[in-house]
Chain A
Amino acid sequence: MTSIISGLNTVLTFLFGLVYWPLKWLGPFWSMVALSWLGGMFMVWIFGKVSDQAAIRRTRDRLSSELIALRLYKDDLRIFFGIQCQVLAWTLRYLRHSLGPMLILMVPTMILLIQLNLHYGFRPLRVGEQTLVKVKLRDPGALGRGAQISLQAPESLKIETQGVRVEEMREVSWRVRGVSPGRFDLTVSDGKESVTKNVAVGGRLEGVSSMRTGEHWLTSLLYPGESPIPSQSAIESIEIRYPELDISILGKSMNWLILFLVLSLLFGYAFKGVLGVQI
């Protein structure tokens, strides 16, 4: 399963990279605008394909008619509240028609969000900026038994602290600092084997993998930036605490997920007519 997910990740990351490559030169905000437009259109198109469009159209029309009826028949309270019940009933029907497509849409949406998270969730370390490297072990008792976990870094990264061991959390943490720009590999070793983790310092906007995880299908799916750590390894995951990427709009920073939500909603609504899709 993990190998399938891993293969899928490779394909999806490559495809997303193809779309993303010409956009990354636009900077975080405008590239997000473009991706929101593409994503909004894509998801509306899928919604149109997997939903019963005729039923949604009928239901929406009936719902609209009941809302107009509220205004037309407002003087007869019995009729008015009867229409209120109809509004509720048709709203539930509308939700029922949308529920299936909503669940189906979770799959492409999740894939898209995972890829977006890879590219917009975090930014590379700046030269001179510090961050934490956290290594999590599989065996809960390994640290208690005195397992020796070491971290080696290339010259472009400086390890500033000794490893801090937290047995309860099966974690060892170091503080590192970027010395010069580039992409480098940290090496974590338990004396028997070594596992590497890519670290990005400086450079333009590009995807940074915050975590390299073990061979589990779900974590592999959620962190597609690097190949999974083999399951026989004592190391479960290696995480770099990159700073979050802030997208600036009119001088205010905004989380990428909120921006994507708003923009893709607006683009989806604006272009649903072009795509001939009833939402």
Chain B
Amino acid sequence: MRKLTRRSLILLVLVPLALHPLVVQGYLGPGAGFTIVSTFFVLFAALASAFVVLLTWPFRWVLKRVFRPKRAGIAKARRVVIVGLDGQDPELTEKWMNEGLLPNFSRLRETGAFARLGTTLPAESPVAWSSFQTGCNPGKHRIYDFLVPNRKSLMPELSSANVTAPGRTLKMGKYLIPLGKPSIAAGRRSESFWSILGKFGIFSSVLRVPITFPPERFNGVLLSAMNVPDVKGSQGTYYYFTTDPKDKRVLVSGQQCPLEAVDGGAKGELPGPENTLIKDGGELRIPFSIASAQDGSGVGRLRIADQTIELRRNEYTPWVSLSYKAAVGFTVKAIARFLLLDDSPHVRLYVTPIQIDPGSPALPISHPVAYSIYLAKRQGPFATLGVAEDTSGLNELVIGEDAFMRQAQDIHRERETMFFDALSKTRSGSVVCVFDITDRVQHMFFRFHKDDHWGASVADERYTHVLRDLYVQMDELVGRVMKEIDEKSVLMVLSDHGFKPFRRAVELNRWLQQNGFLSEDLLAKTPDLLQRVDWSNTQAYAVGFGGIYLNLAGREAKGIVRKEDAARLKREIIEKLKSLRDPERPGSPVSEVYDRDLAYKGPYVEDAPDLVVGFAPGYRVAWETVTGGFGERVISDNTRPWSGDHNMNPSQVPGMLFSNRPLDVGQPHIMDIAPTVLDLFGVPIPAHMDGKPIMRGARGQEPSGPTVESPLAHVPLSPRTAV
């Protein structure tokens, strides 16, 4: 109807003009004027840039030839494409390949290679992907876990990035004008393979590889992933609003906010970042209202910041642009999605973590900064948070399985769009993209999966095949990638670790306390963040996914353990932990306890946990331990939706590696990928790398043993991981 009206109007104007030749003034108003002016400038800019590029290309080519380092050998590939499927389990993949469900993976196995991929200690994404990109063990890249203790403040902190506000400010009345930019300190050390490739003039497109925040400068484009914060500076704070006064929840990763019932709907305020431009400025907020019939129809309208968005129960809104105005000329741009959970009798609303707007990033989330803007302009807003899929929302039962799955799938589609764009624009060089959906969905849906000796913990026909369908979906993705590449391209599809059920939680701080290694200060206000540790009587404490730290004198701010007693203390803890038994199940929850001095080597070993616990399949560290807290029992049932995990003994949860070219070895390690990529491009492999090239083109040669000599050479892959 609208088109018809517009056409009619156009005809009404055009016909009289055509019938009566008239000298019409050339000016048609600002709208049309800008169309013409901007069109002219766009074409001018495009043509000018083409001219400049053509003119300078020969000079740039010569300069690069002359000044860039010489390659060590002839490149064996024009392009290396690496598809990371975070957490895809080789055992499940093999099972469903054998059942004929994964034809593309099977084709790769038959024509190229398939192997278990040795993972890091601990077997978790920040550590493993850091080893992937640097070719080093954690002792050289310094990423040992998501959270590590600050030895001075004795508080847990993020291991990979630390964002601090500008140090100096100019005070003008109530305003604090920052004299500089926020600083972002990278925790990861060593050098990524794409950075090394760049020095040799090889371009890379790197998308959402964990531990790439802050983005590094190199010859290529990069979009950061894990550890990119939301606009509040957290790793993902979601919001729950309800008009129900009786609905009071204790949320750890989310925030419950008041929602006032008003005639025909509700109104509230969406929290945002702290206003650091005004002294004691508090939290910035954006008011919003929901107009709802409250008749159970599940339809409403959200009004926020001059936008009106239709709400439908259990349907996400598109990304909504948000502007938090801190002061005149200072606005923090953000995006979020809204999900109306219920509209009658009470309005219940879920809001995703409020994320950095990629089209106008408050912090650099890409290299160059324009790259995230390019992607946002090309495909629309997309999730930018490090761990974008809101597992916490489901884990804390604010959203359900279906809502979580839709969110994860939407984010995956965004990721696919940017990946295939990068693939089409990177004809030579490396393309690396990590898809997280495999990790997130397995974390939350493993409880429905039956094919394991633990059995499914929840019987629900709707979700029984979620994991299988997910693997089929990844197979289709791999199939599409295979169609896009030619014989000069090397394709690697890999995961950083596998997956196992997480049924029983082991609370290490409680165990340390019960065994006399830790003293608990019961008067402390906060139960977590190591606040309840009585440091004057504590020999060891636990933070993160299995790390145990000695309270070492001279290292910890309140250390009491003498250096000469450290080895004895470690031996004692190892022996006692290995003898830990689960009163409700046979066997030990602990497969191995690793001493850092044997497990790691490199300049940053001092920063590692003194001991790392390798849990048996089915067991994982308790949530309380992760943030330095205390649980009531040492071993308890995991009753949360987060039911699959990989923070177990690394040999039990290897990753997987598929390639369209054969491998030289039978037991590759994730540290081998970086030197392999360098070798494929004929770039010399730095001596500090622990991994070895595994694709030197020895087609038909019998695969040999493991490539990695040290760090985990004493951690054998389980027998079923042999190719």
Residue of A70, A100, A218 touching B22 (CB-CB under 8 A): A218
Q: Say whether, besides A78-B427, A103-B10, A98 and B32 are in contact (CB < 8 Å).
A: yes
Across the interface, name the chain B residue whose C-beta is closest to A279.
B34
Q: Say whether, besides A91-B39, A279-B35, A40 and B30 are in contact (CB < 8 Å).
A: yes
Residues of B within 8 A of A276 (CB): 306
Q: Which positions 31-59 of chain B face chain A at CB distance < 8 Å?
A: 31-35, 37-39, 42-43, 45-46, 49-50, 53-54, 57
Across the interface, name the chain B residue whose C-beta is closest to A104.
B9
A106 touches B46 (CB 8 A): no
Across the interface, name the chain A residue whose C-beta is closest to B26.
A261
A264 touches B25 (CB 8 A): no
Indicate whether B377 reaches chain A with its CB closer than 8 angstroms: yes
Q: Say whether, besides A62-B378, A70-B46, A72-B371, A47 and B29 are in contact (CB < 8 Å).
A: yes
Query: B363-380 vs A: 1/0 string, CB under 8 Å?
Result: 000001011011111101
A72 touches B368 (CB 8 A): yes
Indicate whether A248 reaches chain B with its CB closer than 8 angstroms: no
Residue of B46, B376, B425 touching A84 (CB-CB under 8 A): B46
Residues of A within 8 A of B7 (CB): 100
Query: Which among B30, B39, B45, B375 has the highest number of chain A CB atoms within 10 Å?
Result: B30
A72 to B13, CA, bound (A): 43
Residues of B within 8 A of A29 (CB): none
A81 touches B50 (CB 8 A): yes
Indicate whether B234 reaches chain A with its CB closer than 8 angstroms: no
A91 touches B43 (CB 8 A): yes
A207 to B590, CA, bound (A): 94
Query: B343-384 vs A: 1/0 string, CB under 8 Å?
Result: 000000000000000000000000010110111111010000
Nearest-CB distance from A20 to chain B (Å)?
Answer: 19
Residues of B within 8 A of A50 (CB): 6, 9
Q: Say whether, besides A62-B377, A218-B22, A98 and B31 are in contact (CB < 8 Å).
A: yes
B13 touches A106 (CB 8 A): yes
A72 to B418, CA, bound (A): 14
Indicate whether B60 reaches chain A with its CB closer than 8 angstroms: yes
Residues of A within 8 A of B50 (CB): 80-81, 84
A77 to B196, CA, bound (A): 23
B6 touches A279 (CB 8 A): no
Indicate whether B14 reaches chain A with its CB closer than 8 angstroms: yes
Give the contact-size bracket for chain B. Answer: 35 or more
Indicate whether A254 reaches chain B with its CB closer than 8 angstroms: no
Q: Which of A9-17, A126-134, A160-168, A265-273 contacts B (4 or more CB under 8 A)?
A: A265-273
A261 touches B374 (CB 8 A): no
Give the contact-size bracket for chain A. Answer: 35 or more
Nearest-CB distance from B424 to chain A (Å)?
Answer: 8
Indicate whether A95 reaches chain B with its CB closer than 8 angstroms: yes
Q: Which positions 41-74 of chain A face chain B at CB distance < 8 Å?
A: 43-44, 46-48, 50-51, 61-65, 67-74
Query: Which among B22, B24, B29 has the highest number of chain A CB atoms within 10 Å?
Result: B29
A100 to B10, CA, bound (A): 6
A76 to B374, CA, bound (A): 17
Query: A214-248 vs B: 1/0 string, CB under 8 Å?
Result: 00001000000000000000000000000000000
Indicate whether A193 reaches chain B with its CB closer than 8 angstroms: no
Indicate whether A87 reaches chain B with its CB closer than 8 angstroms: yes
Residues of A within 8 A of B57 (CB): 77
Majority secondary structure, B binding face: helix
Across the interface, name the chain A residue whose C-beta is closest to B221.
A72
Indicate whether B446 reaches chain A with its CB closer than 8 angstroms: no
A46 to B306, CA, bound (A): 19
A268 touches B33 (CB 8 A): yes
Across the interface, name the chain A residue whose C-beta is closest to B13.
A103
Residue of A67, A105, A109, A218 touching B45 (CB-CB under 8 A): A67
Residues of A within 8 A of B374 (CB): 65, 68-69, 72
B425 touches A105 (CB 8 A): no
Residues of B within 8 A of A79 (CB): 425, 427
Residues of B within 8 A of A105 (CB): 28-29, 31-32
A68 touches B24 (CB 8 A): no
Indicate whether A182 reaches chain B with its CB closer than 8 angstroms: no
A88 to B373, CA, bound (A): 20
A104 touches B6 (CB 8 A): yes
Residues of A within 8 A of B43 (CB): 87-88, 91
A179 to B688, CA, bound (A): 100
A69 to B378, CA, bound (A): 10
Q: Say whether, besides A62-B378, A268-B33, A87 and B42 are in contact (CB < 8 Å).
A: yes
Q: Which positions 311-347 of chain B face chain A at CB distance < 8 Å?
A: none
A98 to B35, CA, bound (A): 7
Residues of B within 8 A of A67 (CB): 42, 45-46
Nearest-CB distance from A61 to chain B (Å)?
Answer: 4
B6 touches A75 (CB 8 A): no
Indicate whether B537 reaches chain A with its CB closer than 8 angstroms: no
A68 touches B27 (CB 8 A): no
Residues of B within 8 A of A48 (CB): 31
Indicate whether B428 reaches chain A with its CB closer than 8 angstroms: yes
Indicate whether B248 reaches chain A with its CB closer than 8 angstroms: no
Residues of B within 8 A of A69 (CB): 374, 378, 425
Residues of B within 8 A of A102 (CB): 28, 31-32, 35
Indicate whether B483 reaches chain A with its CB closer than 8 angstroms: no
A272 to B373, CA, bound (A): 21
Residue of B10, B20, B30, B368 touching A43 (CB-CB under 8 A): B30
Indicate whether A147 reaches chain B with its CB closer than 8 angstroms: no
A265 touches B37 (CB 8 A): yes
Nearest-CB distance from B688 to chain A (Å)?
Answer: 29
Residue of B13, B30, B53, B377 touching A264 (CB-CB under 8 A): B30
Query: B558-590 vs A: 1/0 string, CB under 8 Å?
Result: 000000000000000000000000000000000
Query: A22-41 vs B: 1/0 string, CB under 8 Å?
Result: 00000000000000000110
Residue of B27, B221, B368, B375 touching A257 (CB-CB under 8 A): B27
A71 touches B370 (CB 8 A): yes
Q: Say whether, besides A91-B42, A100-B10, A75 and B203 are in contact (CB < 8 Å).
A: yes
Q: Which positions 154-174 of chain B face chain A at CB distance < 8 Å?
A: none
Q: Which positions 46-104 of chain B face chain A at CB distance < 8 Å?
A: 46, 49-50, 53-54, 57, 60
A194 to B468, CA, bound (A): 95
List 10 additional contacts besides A47-B30, A265-B34; criterion CB under 8 Å: A65-B374, A67-B42, A68-B371, A68-B374, A77-B57, A95-B35, A95-B39, A105-B32, A107-B13, A260-B27
> What are 6 A-B contacts defined by CB distance under 8 Å?
A47-B30, A48-B31, A61-B380, A98-B35, A110-B24, A265-B34
Q: Which residues of B contact A (CB under 8 A)?
A: 6-7, 9-10, 13-14, 17, 20, 22, 24-25, 27-35, 37-39, 42-43, 45-46, 49-50, 53-54, 57, 60, 203, 221, 306, 368, 370-371, 373-378, 380, 425, 427-428
